[in-house]
Amino acid sequence: MEPKLAFPQDSPPLAILCAAKVAGVSLTLDPKLASGSAPTLHLGSGDFIHGVNTILRYIARVASVTSFYGQDAIQAAYVDQWLDYAPVILSGSEFEAACSFLDGYLASRTFLVSYGLSIADIVVWSNLAGTGQRWESLRRSKKYQNLVRWFNSIADYSDTLDEVVSAYVGKRGIGKSPAPSLKEKLPDSKQNISIPEVDLPGAKVGEVCVRFAPEPSGYLHIGHAKAGLLNKYFAERYKGRLIVRFDDTNPSKESNEFVENVLKDVETLGIKYDIVTYTSDYFPQLMEMAENLIKQGKAYVDDTPKEQMRSERMDGVESKCRNNTVQDNLSLWKEMINGTERGMQCCVRGKLDMQDPNKSLRDPVYYRCNTDPHHRIGSKYKVYPTYDFACPFVDALEGVTHALRSSEYHDRNAQYYRILQEMGLRRVEIYEFSRLNMVYTVLSKRKLLWFVQNKKVEDWTDPRFPTVQGIVRRGLKVEALVQFILEQGASKNLNLMEWDKLWTINKKIIDPVCGRHTAVLKDQRVLFTLTNGPEEPFIRVLPRHKKYEGAGKKATTFTNKIWLESADASVISIGEEVTLMDWGNAIIKEIKTQNGIITELLGELHLEGSVKMTKLKLTWLPDIEDLVSLSLVEFDYLIKKKKLEEDDNFLDNLNPCTCQEFPALGDANMRNLKQGEIIQLERKGYYRCDAPFIRSSKPIVLFAIPDGRQKSATK
């Protein structure tokens, strides 16, 4: 028996209603209490709970949401504080002051308590939403950007939050307009892309220049997509310039293939840039700068072995070469430029501060030798700048005003500014955002390259890969990826994101428009003979999508012998009436078996029967030669551990089975599917056509698209 929530109709407890929806707690609503009465929750056991906060704490404890009441006693105490304060600070004349306080509090936070959604977020959110137009006016004014970002992100956690607000909150606030009858259907909420407004420090409209600077050593992955889209967002917001720059300073890892595919990915993501540049365009100026720093005594050439140098930097021990004369340094620099045996033993280091607590400032390497040919300029150079040296130089030279960097580089920000200072160049503002980390996923290009080189995947476009081309090939719409990334904004909080959220967004985009088709597993099907079925097959033209005409039409053949899934046949009883989808009802008269396995069903059509009265609604295919062969492919994560720690070896956590193929038969209309087209197989799930129909002997290949909740559509 569901708990029953009793409350006055003129003051519905919005916080409880919202919390119950998010927590997965089903309630029967009884809005018949006298005005002014506190809500009461009547439990199936006969017990009852009285009062808003008491009910909220009960919901938090029984919620299906992890850590909804905090992860420990201290966090639970913080949650309790918000439950007590929210209705007080967000009412009356102090409303705007409370908003200002919350805006400051949320400046560096994603959630109110710790790093996850708690009932505190829902309570504060519902108290804001409950003020109606008062909050909406402030929300549109862009006055409290951190608070608006947080409010939008909480709303996206559950589609039902907006539904609850629509039902119980009028323009003047909660209870100011009548709540609908409990039998009325709440209005559908619209899925909008929420882009939090974030300011760049010191930015001026028309004067901002940002850059997206990938290294051409692999294809773009979902983490790069976040960086690219944030740069695009700021360039557009400030009516500024966006440079796509290839950081091509390591010829051993880079290739023209990667350059071409990065540009392809940039186009796929809809990133409009002003110019494409290459760090290699500035090699002469970079070499000149390095030589000038050597002449000024701000850099030196070091031949310390690599491991010894690393150890000395960690311990703050100066290199024996640190006090070489300028002449000795210039002589060794020429050896490096010429790629001699002596030069190959050396590197150029900046003379910064070997005692600085920030180890990135302990004489970082500026230049090193590499005799591998460069993908653009061949073997012209034997020395190449490090990223740490080249990036600030080229940023300043190209007029970049704001360099967006993920927070993993935070400790190197001081180095970036110091190197600009040493070079005598203008300051470029760094703006940090959190690196995008996904569960069961490696984003290191070195590790992704291992999968490619060891044939664990097809190539960089493999649908198991987190590359842009990989996830698009899996069936992700670019609009879903853009929405997923922009909803996070430029937060600095490190979060491990679930793929399910991304696929849920994707489902909402594809479901309203993708065509519907039918398939049965080839090795798991049972013939159903309809004794009063049509003597001759006939065809009806039906919509591919009942609610979207743009999906087109399909021709469905009706025969007296049809194929059912074995799983469906196994749960049917003799005498049972079932519904054959897009046809009508049928009654099972006989079930034939052999060795305990169902081999055939016999039955009669009962088209006058009510589809509302049947328990089973079955997909089926006609027994005709025109059916097409399908290969339904399902994928799993490449890594079996949700989060790899720093000391984890990814090779010890490989998923042994990441791909399964299931032979199936599909309706004849699937001959017309195009490569890349997304469809829904009724009662199975969503699929993307990777290989369309060519000939009868070659199956159509369909990749299963996750929908955010379904583990397997074929089992």
Would you say 209 and 401 are in contact if contact means Cβ atoms under 8 Å apart?
A: yes
Last residue of a domain, one of 622, 643, 664: 622
Number of domains in the chain: 3
CA distances from 91 to 13, 98, 143, 172, 442 (A): 15, 9, 19, 13, 47
**Radius of gyration, CA atoms only, the chain:** 32
Q: Is the pLDDT of residue 13 over 80?
A: yes
Percentage of the residues of the chain whose pLDDT score is greater than 90:
65
pLDDT, mean of residues 325-344: 97
Whether 77 is covered by a domain: the verdict is yes
Last residue of a domain, one of 135, 168, 201: 168
Shared domain for 521 and 504, answered yes or no, is no
pLDDT, residue 389, reads: 98
CATH at 144: 1.20.1050.130
Shared domain for 594 and 675, answered yes or no, is no
pLDDT band, very low/low/confident/very high, at 568 (cuts 50, 70, 90): very high
For residue 681 the two structure tokens come to: 């197989």
Name residue, tokens 């540049």.
277
pLDDT, residue 80, reads: 85
Shared domain for 486 and 634, answered yes or no, is yes
Q: Characterize 286-307 residue by residue with b for buried, 16 or more Cβ atoms within 10 angstroms of its Cβ, and e for exposed.
A: bbebbbebbeeebbbbbbbeee
Shared domain for 574 and 698, answered yes or no, is no
Whether 43 is covered by a domain: the verdict is yes
Whether 144 is covered by a domain: the verdict is yes
For residue 539 the two structure tokens come to: 């065809």
Would you say 290 and 367 are in contact if contact means Cβ atoms under 8 Å apart?
A: yes
Kindly compute the dihedral angle of the four CA atoms of residues 559, 562, 568, 569, in this order, to the nearest 10 degrees. 110
In angstroms, the CA 526 to CA 564 distance is 5
CA distances from 4 to 9, 31, 43, 47 (A): 14, 10, 7, 11
pLDDT, residue 226, reads: 92
Whether 395 is covered by a domain: the verdict is no
Shared domain for 68 and 151, answered yes or no, is yes
Shared domain for 535 and 637, answered yes or no, is no
CA angle centred on 688, ends 558 and 227, rounded to 5°: 160
In angstroms, the CA 710 to CA 328 distance is 67
Domain range for 677 is 440-511+626-714
For residue 296 the two structure tokens come to: 């000024």
Strand, coil or helix: 520:
strand
Neighbours of 278 (CB within 10 A): 19
Whether 272 is covered by a domain: the verdict is no
pLDDT, residue 367, reads: 98
**Region for 257 from its dihedrals, namely left if φ exceeds 0, alpha if ψ lies in -120 to 50, beta otherwise:** alpha
pLDDT, residue 188, reads: 32
Whether 355 is covered by a domain: the verdict is no
pLDDT, mean of residues 209-226: 95
Q: Is the pLDDT of residue 418 over 80?
A: yes
Shared domain for 498 and 635, answered yes or no, is yes
Higher pLDDT among residues 100 and 529, named by residue:
529
**374 phi, psi to nearest 5 deg:** -85, 140
Whether 246 is covered by a domain: the verdict is no
**H helix or E strand, kind and range, residue 704:** strand 700-705
Shared domain for 130 and 11, answered yes or no, is yes
- pLDDT tens column, 278-322: 999 999 999 999 999 999 999 999 999 999 999 999 999 999 999
Shared domain for 161 and 126, answered yes or no, is yes
**H helix or E strand, kind and range, residue 661:** strand 659-666
In angstroms, the CA 445 to CA 435 distance is 14
pLDDT, residue 297, reads: 97
pLDDT, residue 619, reads: 96
Last residue of a domain, one of 599, 622, 645: 622
Q: Is the pLDDT of residue 558 over 90?
A: yes
Name residue, tokens 């300051």.
427
Secondary structure percentages of the chain, helix, strand, coil, to 5: 35, 20, 45
CATH at 644: 2.40.240.10
Q: Is the pLDDT of residue 171 over 60?
A: no
Among 140-149, 312-321, 390-399, 423-432, which stretch is predicted with the lowest mean pLDDT?
140-149
Q: Is the pLDDT of residue 667 over 70?
A: yes
Give the HSE-up count for residue 64: Cα atoms under 13 Å, Cβ half-sphere: 7
Q: Is the pLDDT of residue 698 over 90?
A: yes
Most confident residue range from 75-79, 410-414, 602-606: 602-606
Among 36-50, 251-265, 328-342, 548-562, which stretch is predicted with the lowest mean pLDDT?
36-50
Shared domain for 572 and 691, answered yes or no, is no
Whether 655 is covered by a domain: the verdict is yes
Amino acid occupying residue 677 = E
pLDDT band, very low/low/confident/very high, at 491 (cuts 50, 70, 90): low
pLDDT, residue 76, reads: 86
Shared domain for 585 and 636, answered yes or no, is no
Shared domain for 560 and 652, answered yes or no, is no
